[in-house]
Structure 1
Amino acid sequence: MAALQRIIELNRQRRRRSDVVYIHAYIRENFNPLEVLSDEAVVRKYRLTRPQIRELLQLVHPHLVRPTRRNFALTPAVQLLAALRFYTSGSFFEVLGDGLGMSKASISRSVTAVTQVLLQLADRMAFPSTPDDIARTTQGFHGVAGLPRVIGVIDGTLIPVARPSENEPIYLCRKGFPALNVQVICDHRGVFTDIVARWPGSTHDAFVWANSALCQVAEGGGFGGCWLLGDSGYPLRPYLLTPFQQPNTAAEARFNRAHIATRAIVERAIGRWKQRFCCLSKTAGGVQLHPTKCCAVAVVTALLHNMAVRANVPLPEEDMVLEEDVADLPHNDANPQGLAVRNQLVHHVSPLKHLPTPLP
C-alpha cells in the first residue's frame, strides 16, 4: 500500500514533457546595413533606395520565411540583401559570403530563392496598351527627333554566362564567349516595357523577335498603326522600321539620323542596366550560374532597373568600362508593306540641327 501511494505521489510531481524539453531555435542575428549605412552607401551597394528595399522586403517576406525550427535560420532581410548584393557586384558566392558572414551555400540558396520570388513581379513590366499610355509614349518619342507614332525601341544584348556543361556550342555568341541573347524594348524614358530572356547567344536578333509573344501581337495588328524602331539586324515590317542601309537622298539620310537619335535610347538603357547591375556585364565576369537561372536574373534585374529609373536613383559614380554589343548581320528581308510605310514616313521627318550625323 505504501508503495502504491509512493507511485501516485511521483506521478503528481512529474511534469509534462513540454515543461522539461526546451527547443532552442534562434534566428541568426546578422548585420543589417539598412539600419547603419547612409542613404548614399545603400544606393551604392544595392542600387536601390532604402524605401524601395523595404518595399521589396514586404513583398518577399512571406515567401522567404523558413518553416523550420533549425538553429540559425536566415531572415528574409538577409536573403534579400545578399541577392541584391550579388546582382550589384556579380562577385563569386564565396567572396560575397566572406563579406556578409555567410557560407557559399547560403548565398547560393538566397540568390535562387529571392530571384524566383521577384520573378513573380514580371507582370509589372507592361508594354503600352491603353490609349493614355500609348499617347504618352508616342509623344515622348516624338520629342526626341520628330518621328511620330513610335511606341518603343528594340535591341538585343549579350549577357555573359558560365560555360554550360550541355549544348555549349549554341551558347557561344559571335564574340566567342558563352552568353544569352536577351531582347529588350524600352520607352522614351529608358524604362523596359518588354524583355525576352530565353535564347542562347548564337541566336540571331531577328529569330528572337519572330518567336516572341509581342511579335505575334504586332502581326495581328495589335500596335494600332504605331511602330517599333530597330537596327538593321531586324526585318523591315509595317510595325518595325529599320534604317536605310544605303541612303540615296537627303530625306533618307535625315530619316536615318532621326532613327539613330531615337533608337539610341535603348542602347543607353542597356548600358545603364549593365552598369547598375554589374553581374550582367562581361567586365565583371557575367552571370556565373546555370543558363536557366541566368535568364531569371536578367528579368529580375530589368524589373529592379525600372524601379530605379522611375525613382531617378543615380547610377554608381565609379567608372566602369562597358562592352559594346555588335549589331547582328543585316536582315535582307524587304517587306513591301514595310517599305511603303518607311518611304511615306521619310517625307514627314523635319530637319533638326541637333541630330547626329549617321555613322559610315
Structure 2
Amino acid sequence: MAARQLILAGNQQRRRERSQTVFVNAFVRHHFSPLDVLSDRALQRKYRLPRSAIQHLIQLVVPQIRRATRCNYALSPEVQLLAALRFYAVGSFREVVGDGTGLSKALVLRSVAAVTPILLRHARQHIKMATTREDVRQVHQGFHAMAGIPRVLGLVDGTLIPLLNPSLVDPSWICRKHFPAVNTQVVDHDGLIVDIVARWPGSIHDSFVWANSAVGQKAGRGMFGRSIFLGDSGYPLRSDLITPVMNPASPAEEAFNEGHTHTRTHIERVFGRWKARFRCIHRSSGGLRLSPRKSCQVIVVTAMLHNIAVRAGADEPSAVDDEDHDNPPPPPLPNEPRAALHQAGLRARQEIINLF
C-alpha cells in the first residue's frame, strides 16, 4: 500500500513539472509578400495606396496586431493588413479569396475585423480641419479662386453608404431610396475629407446630422469666426451655413447660385473618387457585408486612407457616379425660435450676393 502511494505521488510530481513547461509549437504563416513581387503601379491598382503608405500602415498595425499565440499557421500582421486593404478596395470577400493568397473567407473577415479598429485609432491624425490662421487663410483663398465666394472653410454634403445585412430589420436604416444605408456627412477641402460623421441610419435627414455633428455645433457657436460652410438646399440656411437661393430674382442672385453650384460640385467629385478608390462603400459592391457598427468604422477608415492616398500623390481612380448621393427635400420653413437663425442666414447670404 505504501509503495502504491509512493508511485502515485511520483506520477503527480511528474505531471506537475510537465504542466509548468510550455512548448510553443507555432508557425506564423508568412505568405509571399506582394510588396516584394508587385510593381508600384500594380500595387496601387490592387491596394489603392502607394508602397510607402502601405509600409507605414504596416508599422502602425504590427505592435497592436502581433500577439503571442500557440496556434499553428497564424497569420502575420502584414498578411492581415493587405487582406483588409484588398477588401476595402473591392468590397468582396470572394474576390480577396480568389486572389490566390490562400486565405479563406473567414480569415479575410477576421483580418478586416482586427485591422479596422487599429486603423480607426489613427483617423484623427489624417482627418482634421484647418486650425492655424495661415492654414485657414489658404483654405479661404483656395475656395475663393473657384467661384469668388469668400471665407469658405469647407463644403458640407451627405452621401448614402449602402449596407448588405440580412439580419438588419430596423426600418430606420432604410433610406428614402429604399435600401439600408448609413447617412454619412462629409466636410471637404481640396479633395481631402477634413471631417466625417458616419453613425446615423439612412432615414435621418442631412440637416439633423449637421445639427448634431461636432463641426455643426462649433459653427453654430461661432467657433470658426467669420468662416462659412456651403451646403445644398437640404440644409437650413444659417449665418455659418450658406445655401443657394431657391428662387433667384436678380442677376446677382443667379450669379451667386452659379458660383455656389460650381464650388459645391467639388465635394461631389470627391465622393466619386472616394468610392471609386474603395469600392466597398460603393453600391456596385452590393453594400458593406458587416454589422452597422463595423460598417461605420470601415467608412471612417476608408476616408482616412483616401486622405493618405491624396497626400501621397497616388494615382487618381476613374471617378464613378455617386448613385448613393442623397438629395433630400429642403427642410420646412423655420419656426420660432429658428426664425431668428434663418433671418441671420439671410443677411449673411445677402452680404455675399452683393459681391456678385
List structure 1 segments (4+ residues) > 6 angstroms apart after TM superposition: none
Query: Partner of 1:353 in structure 2?
Result: none
Deviates more, 1:151-160 or 1:61-70: 61-70
User: Aligned in 2, Cα 1:198/1:168: closer, same or farther, shift over 3 Å?
Assistant: same
| 1:36-88 CA-partner distances (Å, limit 9, x unpaired) | 00111000000000010000110111011022122111101000000000000
| 1:165-192 CA-partner distances (Å, limit 9, x unpaired) | 25431111111111000000011x1101
Contact 1:191–1:309 at 8 Å: present in 2 too? yes
Deviation, structure 1 residue 331: 2.1
Q: Which amino acid aligns with 1:168?
A: D
Q: Which amino acid aligns with 1:126?
A: K
Q: Which amino acid aligns with 1:345?
A: I
1:55-204 to structure 2, matched below 5 A, reads: 55-91=56-92, 93-99=93-99, 100-124=101-125, 125-163=127-165, 165-187=167-189, 189-204=190-205
Q: Aligned to 1:156, what secondary structure does the other structure show?
A: strand
Query: Partner of 1:342 in structure 2?
Result: 349
Deviation, structure 1 residue 29: 2.4
Q: Aligned to 1:31, what secondary structure does the other structure show?
A: coil
Aligned length: 331
Q: Aligned to 1:259, what secondary structure does the other structure show?
A: helix
Deviation, structure 1 residue 216: 1.4
Q: d(CA) in 2 for partners of 1:23 and 1:325?
A: 52
Q: Which amino acid aligns with 2:352?
A: L
1:33-44 to structure 2, matched below 5 A, reads: 33-44=34-45
Contact 1:283–1:321 at 8 Å: present in 2 too? no
RMSD over equivalenced CA pairs, Å: 2.0
Q: Which amino acid aligns with 1:175?
A: K
Give the TM-score of the pair, scaled to structure 1.
Answer: 0.88
What residue ranges of structure 2 are gaps of 5+ in the alignment? 1-16, 335-341
Q: Which amino acid aligns with 1:185?
A: V
Deviation, structure 1 residue 242: 0.1
Q: d(CA) in 1 for partners of 2:40 and 2:290?
A: 30
Contact 2:241–2:345 at 8 Å: present in 1 too? yes
1:1-360 to structure 2, matched below 5 A, reads: 23-91=24-92, 93-99=93-99, 100-124=101-125, 125-163=127-165, 165-187=167-189, 189-316=190-317, 322-323=322-323, 325-333=325-333, 335-349=342-356
Contact 1:275–1:322 at 8 Å: present in 2 too? no
Q: Aligned to 2:121, what secondary structure does the other structure show?
A: helix
What residue ranges of structure 1 are gaps of 5+ in the alignment? 1-15, 350-360
Contact 1:94–1:104 at 8 Å: present in 2 too? yes
| 1:146-175 CA-partner distances (Å, limit 9, x unpaired) | 111000001000000013525431111111
Q: Which amino acid aligns with 1:109?
A: R
Q: Aligned to 2:159, what secondary structure does the other structure show?
A: strand
Contact 2:228–2:240 at 8 Å: present in 1 too? yes
Q: d(CA) in 2 for partners of 1:292 and 1:45?
A: 26
Q: d(CA) in 1 for partners of 2:322 and 2:268?
A: 12
Deviates more, 1:246-255 or 1:129-138: 129-138
Q: Which amino acid aligns with 1:310?
A: R
Deviation, structure 1 residue 314: 1.1
Deviation, structure 1 residue 320: 5.3
User: Aligned in 2, Cα 1:208/1:21: closer, same or farther, shift over 3 Å?
Assistant: closer
Contact 1:156–1:183 at 8 Å: present in 2 too? yes
Overall identity of the aligned pairs, in %: 50
Q: Aligned to 1:325, what secondary structure does the other structure show?
A: coil
Q: Which amino acid aligns with 1:25?
A: A
Deviation, structure 1 residue 254: 0.2
Q: Aligned to 1:194, what secondary structure does the other structure show?
A: strand
